[in-house]
Amino acid sequence: MKTDIVPVGNSQKKLQIVVPAAAVTAEFDQVYRRIGRTTRMQGFRPGKAPRRVLEMRFKDQVSDEVAGNLIQRGYTDALKNHGVEPVGRPAVESDPIVSAKDFEFSITVDVKPEIELATYKGVDVYFPAVEVSDEEVDQLVERRLEGSAKLAEVTDRPVQVGDLALVELAAKDGDDVVASEPGTMLRTAGDPYYPGVEAIVVGLDIGGENTAEITFPEDAKTEAIAGKTLNVTAKVLSIQANEVPVLNDELAEELGFEGGADGMRTALRAQLHDAREAAARNQARANALQALIDANEFDVPGGLIDQQLEALIQELRLQAAYRGQDPRSVTFNDAQMADLRIRARFAAKGALILEYVTKAETLEVADSDVDTRLQELADERGQSVEALRGYLMREEGAEADFKARLLEEKCLDFLLESANLTDVAPEPAAAAPAVEEAKPKKAAKAKKAAAKTEAAPKAEAVSGDADLSVLKGSVSAVKEALASGDHDGSLDALLAAEEAGKGRKGALAAIKGRMS
């Protein structure tokens, strides 16, 4: 088999392959022998049908199979023997195949282009300034204290929204009693069992009573009242409310902070600052890549963009699966696909730039770098390094993938160190997709990592004031907000704020799931 490699521009190669006649004949013979052994033909014993009879019936089928076998074999051998690394799907052109004659075909493949950067040092890169206000620290302190709140009996005021009210309740349809509760605990911030009753209870003192006509929604958890309009009478028997403790030195120590109340405020300020600093650095990395893309014109083959696009789509479907959604149900309209293709192009160009700089600067990841990063991750998660290493490196190739992510991160940091950093925000058109730090994924493939890293979906441009208001809602509200993807650029800040605040397990799991 003869193979010639012909460059086509800077990002394609054509594999011109000739299979000698003898090899073609041998392949035809092999396929006909197999068909003869396995096919029953009228008038002939199994395996005894003459070749000419088989050819009359199976000629086209055999020709297609032989051509397919030889093309696949020639393609595989050409890639292996000539060091060609294709991206995307190959395009095949061939002559009709005929037994006892040479078979010629060509395969055109997209390959990574050889790029030459005019510059990758000294470019202007926007690195957002990070500030934490006293008001934000106060909010974190308040949320942390709310997490330590305890239910207490209330006797000196009427029912307020947010209270739990023990009520005696009767719901009637005319004279028929549909539901009767001698004592049921009602959530005044939205009760799932008797939704709507809260409105006639708020404002009543203990012993107070109110009657009103209420139309209950179809999804009310009390089946007897769902979807019905009933006359409801509710009497307040007792009131309970979450009692938020007042911050003092003793409470701060109980919550695990050294240095009393002042130490707690200092620690929470540092946590929020560190999270925002990490998010700002993350965005600065993306800005650095965007600046280099703007400063260096080069084309990217469509196959490489398609590869990154597919990785990005698979990542979005994987995230949907983490949220409990069937990934097969995730679809994208034309506008969304156009946006994803823009991000895939950014990812493809970014990957080529990082590869070029890594080679130019001979950047490497040593075993000590892996140990240091694992120690950092272990400290963040309160695990031992040995346990984390066993989890992350248990799959084949996982360590190599982890090193590839670290090398990518090292290259991004090198670009920042070589850049002219400024905290003056650029014009809106200069915004770039956010870049994620290397996360502890079990076996993130390099190609998938590039799509995730350089083209995080719907990433916000993270500034020094990440939007933390989403954490004020319920855990369900937090999950719903995160599912939109609108807060992907602030996940580090959100995680730090939730850990420093209420520390709700459901919210923390949702944020960490989104980060992974």
pLDDT score for 489: 66
Query: Of 159, 128, 207, which Cα lies nearest the Cα of 464?
Result: 128
pLDDT score for 503: 63
Reported as a single tens digit per residue, the pLDDT across 362-390 is: 999 999 999 999 998 888 888 888 988 88
Q: What is the mean pLDDT of the chain?
A: 85
pLDDT score for 484: 66
Query: Of 246, 258, 144, which Cα lies nearest the Cα of 503?
Result: 144
> Structure tokens of 445?
């493939």
Strand partners, 154: 239
Tell me the pLDDT band of 348, cut-offs 50, 70 and 90.
Answer: very high
451 against 513, higher pLDDT: 513
CATH for 2-111 is 3.30.70.1050
Tell me the pLDDT band of 507, cut-offs 50, 70 and 90.
Answer: confident
Mean pLDDT check: name the lowest of 140-149, 284-293, 334-343, 493-502. Answer: 493-502
pLDDT score for 501: 60
Contact 237, 168 (CB under 8 A): yes
Strand partners, 15: 5, 107
Tell me the pLDDT band of 437, cut-offs 50, 70 and 90.
Answer: very low
Reported as a single tens digit per residue, the pLDDT across 238-262 is: 999 988 899 999 999 988 899 999 9
CA–CA distance, 474 with 382 (Å, rounded to integer): 26
Strand partners, 12: 8, 110
393 against 416, higher pLDDT: 416
Query: Of 52, 61, 66, 60, which Cα lies nearest the Cα of 21?
Result: 66
Cβ burial 336-363 (10 Å sphere, 16+ → b, else e): eeeebeebbbbbbbbbbbbbbbbeeeee
Give residue 449's identity as a one-letter amino acid code: A
pLDDT score for 444: 40
pLDDT score for 443: 39
pLDDT score for 502: 58
Helix (H) or strand (E) holding 173: strand 164-173
Average pLDDT over residues 95-109: 93
Reported as a single tens digit per residue, the pLDDT across 121-177 is: 999 999 988 999 999 999 999 988 988 888 899 999 999 998 999 999 999 999 999
Reported as a single tens digit per residue, the pLDDT across 467-490 is: 666 676 666 667 767 776 767 767
Task: Show me where the domains of the chain are located.
Answer: 2-111, 124-138+254-515, 150-243
The fold of the 150-243 domain, in CATH, is Chitinase A; domain 3 (3.10.50)
pLDDT score for 109: 92
Is the pLDDT score of 461 beyond 50?
Answer: no
Tell me the pLDDT band of 191, cut-offs 50, 70 and 90.
Answer: very high
Is the pLDDT score of 342 beyond 80?
Answer: yes
Reported as a single tens digit per residue, the pLDDT across 438-452 is: 444 433 443 443 333
Alpha helix stretches (DSSP H) within 116-244: 134-146, 198-201
Burial class for 56, CB neighbours closer than 10 Å (0-12, 13-18, 19+): exposed
Is the pLDDT score of 230 beyond 60?
Answer: yes
pLDDT score for 445: 40
Average pLDDT over residues 447-461: 36
467 against 95, higher pLDDT: 95
Is the pLDDT score of 510 beyond 80?
Answer: no
Average pLDDT over residues 263-288: 92
